Structure 1
Amino acid sequence: MESPQHDPVELIDQHWDLIAPFFSDPPRRADGKGRPRAPNRPILKAIFWILRTGAPWKDLPCHYPSRSTVHRRFQEWNRSGVFNGALQALYERLAEQGQLNLSECFIDATFASAKKGAWTLGKTKRGKGTKIMAITDASGLPIAVHVASASPHEVTLVHDTLDATFGFDQPTRLIGDRAYDSDALDAELASEGIEMIAPNRRNRSKTQDERPLRRYRRRWRVERLFAWLHNFRRLVVRWERHTENSLGMVHLGMMVLLLRHL
């Protein structure tokens, strides 16, 4: 059990001040009846504990609010768009500071096995699970995530992932690995003003120009993003049955990463 003096994910005053407006409480009943709600900050720290450790909700340490309160608040915030709103505010702050660069973006996917079953579940050679698609900016900051069944090919999930950006303009260039080598995808993105850069699969003739392909050398930045996200053990294995809850956990992981850059 974690001691009260140690939290695997800290929520310092500076970071809490940035996102606190989005975690405001609903108005009290006009008659003043009903129990007062538990404070939001300890509940968010409890959710971060679940995110970091990957532990079941029932294992939440006793120095946090009750597990039922924490889980109920997580679902309430997630379904009402609180996480999205907080992320949007963080991105606006990063953009104001000149920390976002969409001149080239990187796309990739990671596999998360589903141990208890889930919606949007797909079979692969690695077992049943889901894909977490992600796009980073030129520096490796996440700008979009999308959770989908693990069965479809990544090429078919590119547009859904681009649609999941938080109000950004389209990237100038999108760089991926061989899984994204597709003439149809190249043409679709080109019609939207996006240059797709990916090395050719071994069974295809060479079509990529060597000069833009040099940018592929920086694709490690999206792989580093997944390494960062996998530090949150709740994202390595999917335990949430509902897709919106699984995506909410990914958004929380993104929130922690962005806060570290502010």
Structure 2
Amino acid sequence: MSDLPLLSQAQMRRIEPYFPLSHGVPRVDDRLIVSGIVFVLRNGLRWRDAPKEYGPHKTIYNRFIRWSRLGVFNRIFAELAAECGEPEQLMIDATHLKAHRTAASLLKKGMFPRRIGRTKGGLNSKLHAVCDGHGRPLIMLLSEGQMSDYKGAARMIEAFPKAKTLLADKGYDADWFREALAERKIKTCIPSRANRKVPIAHDRKLYQKRHKIENMFGRLKDWRRIHTRYDRCAHTFFSSICIAAAVIFWL
């Protein structure tokens, strides 16, 4: 077991308050099971291929699915991200996540949409994210691949924390978005679209810092089950993203 990664005791103390209470028979050690979930997601394994040292693979899978449905991992990410306080800068962007053939059915079955859409690059999902000036994600949204950047921003803007400035690429150059940020007293650093009749100046030196959100997406995609979507259900896939973001940036 010494060769396999484990979450530290300090990391577990930060996330244990958000775990559901155990009822009846004591459950398998949370530290082992959560570490097994992280190992599978990071390495892109099938659940049955999880190392036996983490516990029964069925237990690891069932715990992940059950807690995903309860929103446990989403809550862990949101609470850890909220601990950073009010950031000085915000950055917003989006990236595509390829849907594997096991998840790429467009047929809607059940109550919830799968958040998979068709684009020129095939079937994929789109991850919209807002991060702080250090490139740490604060807000994330999963949508169909064909959703435009500014529509994703419209769904997240109510959750924006207070900040002085927001950096974004020209895909977010819309008057309504600039006005909505101005109402929140957030200055914009967004290049103008090529078809804008009167270009709006932006701070080019400040804009160079926007690479940090691109780096953030790159680090998330280092986890193989994030880079390629294998999960058919949107809530389980988004839980995987929340786990990755929490472990990489907040633990």
Alignment of 1:1-262 (within 5 A): 4-7=1-4, 9-28=5-24, 35-95=25-85, 102-115=87-100, 116=102, 117=104, 119-163=114-158, 165=159, 169-210=161-202, 212-260=203-251
Tell me, yes or no, if the aligned pair for 1:198 and 1:213 is still in contact at 8 Å.
Answer: no
3-state SS in 1 of match to 2:40: helix
Structure 2 SS opposite 1:146? strand
Q: TM-score, normalised by structure 2?
A: 0.86
Cα distance between partner residues in 1 of 2:78 and 2:99: 29
Deviation at 1:69, TM superposition (A): 1.4
Of 9-18 and 79-88, deviating more is 79-88
Please report how far the alpha carbon of residue 93 of structure 1 lies from its aligned counterpart in structure 2 after TM superposition. 4.3
- Once the two structures are TM-superposed, the CA of residue 110 in structure 1 deviates from its matched residue by 1.1
Q: Do the aligned partners of 2:82 and 2:138 also contact (CA within 8 Å) in 1?
A: no
Assess, with a 3 A threshold, how the Cα gap between structure 1 residues 171 and 149 changes in structure 2: closer, same or farther: farther
In 2, the alpha carbon distance for the partners of 1:194 and 1:109 equals 20
How many angstroms does 1:39 deviate by? 1.6
Question: What's the TM-score, normalizing by structure 1?
Answer: 0.83
**Ranges in structure 2 where 5+ consecutive residues have no aligned partner:** 106-113
* Structure-2 residue corresponding to 1:32: none
Do the aligned residues in 2 keep the contact of 1:173 with 1:194 (CA within 8 Å)?
yes
For 2:130 and 2:157, the matched residues in 1 are separated by 8
Say what the alpha-carbon RMSD is for the aligned residues. 2.2
- Displacement of 1:67: 2.2
* Contact 1:15–1:259 under 8 Å retained in 2: no
Distance 1:173 1:94, change over 3 A: closer
CA offsets 1:42-72 (integer angstroms, 9 cap, x no match) = 1101100111101122222222222221111
State the SS of the aligned residue for 1:202: coil
1:106–1:175 CA contact under 8 A, matched in 2: yes
The unaligned stretches of length 5 or more in structure 1 are 29-34, 96-100
Cα gap change, 1:58 to 1:102, in 2 (>3 Å): same
* 3-state SS, counterpart of residue 219 of structure 1: helix
